[in-house]
């Protein structure tokens, strides 16, 4: 059986800088096909960083609406696979075999009937145009954000500093996205990395599910731009706050407004911008004065 690929590998490119050629060492992020199978049937194949795969399986299954809680998965088997044979690519892949609880099997077959193609950054698994904008709510009692949840400009800076500190692989490769859940109670942030920004958030979601938590008491953090699906996944997790380094799309802003999410973006060393539901952000007189002075 093939071994699981590493999350990154070192190469020695020939670099041309300042008119000089020299061999250098560079760490590259790995990109591996990961197939999610349920009931021994392939559901989706993702290109992902081969790390935190169990978190990925839980989060992906949750965001696809196949499970509602960690207990809906009875077991996970991670199987490395060789892709092709002699004369073929010689690359490795990973099959993640998810064993669903009996009462979730029907949800899998129902969802699979509407899957039109492989799932990725697009929306090829949707049944209709309306389904593209839908955010599946967790079953049972709906998650409710804490009514008094508020944060300050200092909180935003501390959250993004925690996100940067947790990007171990990206410090080596400079080629990975990261997502995190940052609790406002001061506990440690949950950070996950991946070549795909959606995958990174799936991994964070899975990590929280496995710990028995949800997103009601903190903020989702992203290193990427904010698109529709990232808003939907934040809403499904129950997080009332989303903070991102880059800008959102116009559709993402409209959906965040409709879903009651406070969207903070362009969060960098010199400040940030609040696009929706600013009532969760404390604006002191000092902050307002600085804004007017600028």
pTM over the 0.75 mark = yes
Tally of domains in the chain:
2
- Reply yes or no on whether 121 is catalytic: yes
Q: By the 8 A CB rule, do 192 and 52 touch?
A: yes
Same domain, 204 and 256: yes
Q: Given a cut of 90, is residue 111 above it in pLDDT?
A: no
Residue 98 domain-assigned (yes or no): yes
Same domain, 76 and 181: no
Residue 164 domain-assigned (yes or no): yes
Same domain, 121 and 202: no
- For 246-294, write each residue's pLDDT tens digit: 999 999 999 999 999 999 999 999 999 999 999 999 987 554 444 434 4
What does the pLDDT read at residue 117?
39
What does the pLDDT read at residue 116?
43
Q: Given a cut of 60, is residue 77 above it in pLDDT?
A: yes
Same domain, 208 and 104: no
Same domain, 217 and 264: yes
What does the pLDDT read at residue 82?
86
What is d(CA 245, CA 286) in angstroms, rounded to the nearest whole number?
24
Same domain, 196 and 111: no
Same domain, 162 and 250: yes
Residue 139 domain-assigned (yes or no): no
The domain that holds 186 is classified in CATH as 3.40.140.10
What is d(CA 207, CA 212) in angstroms, rounded to the nearest whole number?
9
Same domain, 99 and 171: no
Least confident range of 88-97, 115-124, 196-205: 115-124
Residue 241 domain-assigned (yes or no): yes
Q: Which of 9, 121, 124, 216 is catalytic?
A: 121
Range of the structural domain that residue 129 is part of: 25-133
Buried b (16+ CB within 10 A) or exposed e, 146-163: eeebebebebbeebbebb
What is d(CA 240, CA 256) in angstroms, rounded to the nearest whole number?
9
Would you state the structure tokens that stand for residue 263, as one six-digit string?
A: 């969207």
Work out the mean pLDDT of the chain and round it to a whole number: 87
| The length of the chain, given as a count of residues | 294
What does the pLDDT read at residue 36?
96
The domain that holds 129 is classified in CATH as 3.10.20.10
């Amino acid at each position: 059986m093939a071994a699981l690929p590493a999350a990154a590998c070192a190469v020695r490119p020939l670099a041309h800088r300042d008119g000089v050629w020299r061999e250098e060492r560079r760490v590259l992020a790995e990109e591996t096909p990961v197939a999610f199978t349920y009931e021994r049937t392939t559901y989706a194949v993702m290109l992902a960083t081969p790390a935190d795969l169990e978190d990925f399986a839980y989060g992906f299954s949750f965001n696809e609406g196949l499970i509602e809680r960690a207990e809906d998965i009875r077991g996970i088997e991670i199987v490395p696979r060789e892709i092709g044979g002699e004369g073929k690519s010689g690359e490795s892949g990973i099959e993640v075999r998810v064993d669903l609880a009996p009462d979730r099997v029907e949800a899998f077959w129902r969802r699979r009937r509407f899957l039109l193609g492989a799932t990725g950054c697009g929306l090829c698994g949707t049944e209709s145009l309306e389904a593209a904008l839908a955010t599946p709510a967790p079953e049972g009692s709906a998650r409710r954000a804490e009514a008094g949840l508020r944060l300050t400009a200092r909180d935003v800076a501390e959250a993004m500093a925690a996100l940067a500190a947790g990007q171990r692989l990206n410090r080596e490769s400079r080629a990975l996205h990261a997502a995190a859940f940052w609790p406002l109670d001061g506990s440690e942030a949950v950070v996950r990395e991946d070549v795909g920004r959606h995958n990174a958030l799936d991994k964070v979601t899975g990590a929280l599910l496995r710990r028995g938590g949800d997103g009601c008491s903190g903020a989702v953090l992203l290193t990427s731009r904010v698109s529709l699906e990232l808003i939907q996944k934040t809403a499904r997790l129950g997080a009332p706050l989303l903070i991102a380094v880059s800008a959102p799309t116009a559709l993402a802003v409209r959906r965040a407004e409709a879903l009651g999410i406070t969207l903070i973006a362009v969060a960098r060393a010199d400040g940030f911008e609040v696009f929706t539901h600013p009532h969760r952000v404390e604006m002191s007189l000092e902050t307002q004065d600085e804004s007017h002075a600028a």
